[in-house]
């Protein structure tokens, strides 16, 4: 088994997993050969196994996947296991995950350091898989009622990334961005220039404006942000977490928002086919529909206003119109996706 293979999530049979199905274990060790036997044993027992080979990767993967338990090597180059544990315990998102240290250090001060860093338990090297699973069982039973369903929700949200849907959760009472998938992080940076825990102002205003609709179980209008020929649409999906507790505290809970990016590349192709336009003429007409002047279009396309004017004259001739307003109206009527879709 290679290191590259082990860094991917396995898909074991669920029926044999202790304490129910879909239990996720994150193993953190900088030596792949140390990980392989334990990885195989856990996989055969029905666990879903994730692997990180350094401290930074461990923190990132734990935050994204929210495993049920973490098996953490104490001594690693860079960020060692003690620091990894401290950071995970300091983050509310990962604080409840049991951490079992794997260590060859048997001196009392090292074991105390492991527990002080937030470790729930430790096993000594060389690792005995059966002993590890027995220890895991104890801590999983203690933590499972706290984490019930969290792994499944997290994996489902991350899985949406593969289909082009990104998700975030925003806390109602203070507007804090509490959780995001990797795709969501990239999209928010590109469209809004913001990073968690900050929620983009436009998104927060939209959320607060339409919370009443969501609470009444009416689907609110969608929010659309544009970036050139691409647009990012936000849909308020549902309240998540402990709804009753949120209402008792007057905090309202967290809201799950689904995002999807779409491109007008297909729209440009449709325009070109509908009106027998060249690719450049379709681009010019696209920006005319968006209300841009010839100078604006020239700046966008890297052409002079005079060149844009010539393209527009040919567009008018092909569409049988005399003004840019008429050309834009005809394009919108023929290509519905050109119609504005702002939901704010």
Residue 274 to residues 229, 269, 270, 289, 315, Cα–Cα distance (Å): 18, 9, 6, 15, 12
What tens digit of pLDDT does each residue of 239-255 get? 765 444 444 444 567 88
Greatest mean pLDDT among 144-158, 193-207, 234-248 lies in: 193-207
* Whether 12 contacts 48, CB under 8 Å: yes
Q: Which helix (H) or strand (E) holds 316?
A: helix 305-319
In DSSP terms, 234 is beta-bridged to 223, 259
Q: Tell me: domain 266-338, CATH 1.10.10.10, correct?
A: yes
Averaged over 220-233, what is the pLDDT?
Answer: 82
SS (H, E, C) 165-214: EEEEEEECCCCCEEEECHHHHHHHHHHHCCCCCCCCHHHHHHHHHHHHHH
| pLDDT at residue 309, rounded to an integer | 94
Distance CA 64, CA 150 (A): 11
Distance CA 227, CA 205 (A): 19
* Whether 294 contacts 316, CB under 8 Å: no
Query: How many residues does this entry show for the chain?
Result: 344
| 150 — pLDDT class (breaks 50, 70, 90) | low
Distance CA 159, CA 163 (A): 8
| pLDDT at residue 5, rounded to an integer | 36
| 9 — pLDDT class (breaks 50, 70, 90) | very low
| pLDDT at residue 108, rounded to an integer | 65
Residue 294 to residues 120, 164, 289, 316, Cα–Cα distance (Å): 66, 34, 12, 14
| 192 — pLDDT class (breaks 50, 70, 90) | very high
* Whether 85 contacts 39, CB under 8 Å: no
Residue 317 to residues 310, 324, 336, Cα–Cα distance (Å): 11, 11, 22
- CATH code of 161-262, in short, is 3.30.450
Reading the block at residue 52, the tokens are 């990180």
Domain extents in the chain: 3-148, 161-262, 266-338
Query: What homologous superfamily is domain 3-148 in, according to CATH?
Result: Response regulator (3.40.50.2300)
Per DSSP, 17 falls in state: -
Reading the block at residue 144, the tokens are 């499972």
């Amino acid at each position: 088994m290679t290191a590259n293979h082990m860094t991917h999530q396995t898909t074991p049979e669920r029926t044999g997993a202790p304490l129910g199905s879909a239990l996720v274990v994150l193993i953190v060790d900088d030596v792949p050969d140390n990980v392989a036997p334990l990885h195989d044993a856990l996989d055969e027992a029905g666990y879903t196994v994730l692997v990180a080979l350094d401290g930074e990767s461990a923190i990132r993967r734990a935050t994204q996947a929210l495993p049920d338990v973490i098996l953490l090597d104490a001594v690693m180059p860079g960020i060692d296991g003690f620091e990894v544990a401290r950071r995970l315990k300091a983050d509310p998102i990962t604080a409840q995950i049991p951490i079992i240290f794997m260590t060859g250090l048997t001196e009392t001060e090292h074991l105390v350091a492991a527990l002080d860093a937030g470790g729930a338990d430790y096993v000594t090297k060389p690792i005995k898989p059966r002993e590890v699973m027995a220890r895991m069982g104890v801590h999983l039973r203690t933590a499972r009622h706290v984490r019930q369903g969290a792994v499944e929700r997290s994996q489902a949200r991350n899985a949406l990334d593969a289909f082009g849907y990104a998700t975030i959760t925003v806390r109602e009472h203070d507007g804090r961005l509490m959780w995001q998938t990797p795709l969501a992080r990239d999209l928010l940076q590109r469209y809004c220039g913001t990073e968690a825990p900050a929620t983009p102002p436009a998104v927060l205003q939209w959320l607060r404006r339409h919370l009443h609709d969501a609470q009444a179980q009416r689907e609110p209008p969608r929010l659309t942000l544009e970036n050139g020929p691409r647009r990012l649409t936000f849909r308020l999906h549902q309240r998540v977490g402990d709804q009753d507790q949120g209402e008792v505290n007057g905090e309202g809970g967290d809201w799950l928002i689904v995002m999807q990016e779409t491109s007008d590349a297909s729209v440009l192709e449709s325009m070109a086919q509908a009106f027998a336009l060249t690719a450049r003429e379709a681009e010019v007409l696209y920006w005319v529909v968006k209300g841009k002047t010839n100078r604006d279009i020239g700046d966008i396309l890297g052409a002079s206003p005079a060149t844009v004017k010539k393209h527009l004259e040919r567009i008018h001739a092909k569409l049988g119109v005399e003004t840019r307003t008429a050309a834009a109206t005809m394009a919108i009527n023929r290509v519905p996706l050109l119609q504005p879709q702002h939901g704010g």
